[in-house]
Amino acid sequence: MSGTPPPTGGFVRRVGLFQATAINMSQMCGIGPFVTIPLMVAAFGGPQAVIGFVAGALLALADGLIWAELGAAMPGSGGSYVYLRQAFQYRTGRLMPFLFVWTAMLFIPLIMSTGVVGFVQYLGYLAPGMGKTTGDLVGLGMVALVVLLLWRGIEHIARITAVMWAVMITSVLLVIVAAATDFSADLAFTYPAHAFELSSGTFWVGFAAGLTIGIYDYLGYNTTAYMGAEIKDPGRVLPRSIIYSILGIMAIYLLLQIGTLGVIDWHRMKDPGDIASTSVASAVMEETWGKGAADTVTVLILITAFASVFTGLLGGSRVPYDAARERVFFRPYAKLHPKHRFPMLGLATMGVISAIGFLIGRHTDFATLIQLLTTVMVIVQALAQVVALSVLRRRQPGLRRPYRMWLYPVPSFLALAGWLTIYGYADKNSPGRHPIEWSLAWLALGLVAFAIWARLEKVWPFGPKEITEEYLTAPAPETEPAGA
């Protein structure tokens, strides 16, 4: 058992509340809302699709309170990797953090592949004659370009990502303002018969699909938890950044969804031959401000899509590197490029999986891709963290908890119910695709990979458990002076 403070890897606590909230929001609001509004309408069968974004926000908020307590108590670099390692080490050694990294190797690049699919969809607005094969080549070329840029090493990453974030916010606000100038309440609030018939099984299947799409759009509310070692006064700042970012993005999404429904007839969003089903934001701009404005915003959305893939692979490639460096994953992933000092194998692996995920999304459908990435994520991250919170309250009652979940354990039960709903309805919402079976297959492969790795490293179950309760006795993180 260690009594020394957990290492921060040389990080400095410089990120305050405003910056932390902005980081979360920039990760949450990428290409997602521009491509999922038609999917949400299709899931619910009408303008009542707004329910999906509200439900997604409530699940994100319940789950966010779990991240808030764990992140405030263990403000190190790594997020889930740290929490699962601390909670499950008593019975299963390093199994759970290993499985988290294993699943992250799949769901992180799958999230990035949705950005590539969105890029190709909106490019189709500017190049309507683009065929399927050309679109495939463009998407694969985009993945290759991102990997190439990251492979050569990029200077001034913070400045580049800030510019890309500004472009994303500009495109969202332009669509919202344009929709407000030609808004029709009849279009936005005229619902089909039986739209809210809760006794109907169809409603609940649609609700589960909408909840899945909704939570996909909110993913990123936990970004600052992965940066715990760089957050000022994490016991206060980290929980607030999570809550504020969810509420802020919910407001943006509701304005975007309602505004879009008030301009574009929702029936058009369900027609595969209508541009509103693939490039709904461009359709809104064309309907309100004309073709020139639509072309301009489409270019901004393309930049947003590229930025989401660029920043996602930049951060995601570090996950297996950090774990391998701490001997919780395969050692080759701990090697850095000799000149540019980036994790080569992690970037290459996630680049390949992103390309494969893009082809899956192009040749099945976007909703199936979302179902696959969420089912993979649910078991080892979402559900495991619900359990981890309770385990740590029992195993480490003396752990310093500057933030404790409001109304515990109600939010945990709500998060558990939400994630189980998403997982349980996955196959029904993707008939013939079997995302549950694929997620279980990936988990089974992870167990085999862990057995091989544990044998090589001679750790549990082929060696002793290593119990490290470093956060239990670590001093409180220093708080920056007021005005710093």
DSSP secondary structure letters along 276-343: GGT-HHHHHHHHHH-HHHHHHHHHHHHHHHHHHHHHHHHHHTHHHHHHHHTTSS-GGGGPBPTTT--B
Among 329, 369, 362, 333, which Cα is nearest to 348's?
333
Q: What is the pLDDT of residues 51-64, one digit of tens each?
A: 999 999 999 999 99
Q: What is the pLDDT of residues 360-408, one digit of tens each?
A: 989 888 888 888 889 999 989 999 999 999 999 999 999 999 999 999 9
In the prediction, which pLDDT does 312 show?
80
Tokens standing for residue 391: 């385990």
**Residue 462 pLDDT exceeds 90:** yes
**Residue 93 pLDDT exceeds 60:** yes
In the prediction, which pLDDT does 11 show?
61
**Burial status of residue 390 (CB atoms within 10 A of its CB: 0-12, 13-18, 19 or more):** middle
List of residues 6+ apart from 410 with CB closer than 8 A? none
Query: Picking from 94-103, 109-118, 195-204, 369-378, which range would have the lowest pLDDT averaged per residue?
Result: 195-204
Distances from the Cα of 427 to the Cαs of 37, 209, 289, 290, 444, in angstroms?
A: 21, 10, 41, 41, 18
Per the listing, tokens 């739209």 go with: 195
Q: What is the pLDDT of residues 127-169, one digit of tens each?
A: 998 999 999 999 999 999 999 888 876 555 556 666 777 888 8
What 8-state DSSP symbol labels residue 228? G
Residues 277, 271: contact at Cβ < 8 Å?
yes
**Residue 46 pLDDT exceeds 60:** yes
The whole-model pTM stands at 0.89
Residues 109, 357: contact at Cβ < 8 Å?
yes
**Residue 428 pLDDT exceeds 90:** no
Distance CA 216, CA 227 (A): 21
Per the listing, tokens 């809104």 go with: 284
The counts of H helices and E strands in the chain are: 22, 0
Q: Which element (helix H / strand E) includes 119?
A: helix 95-126
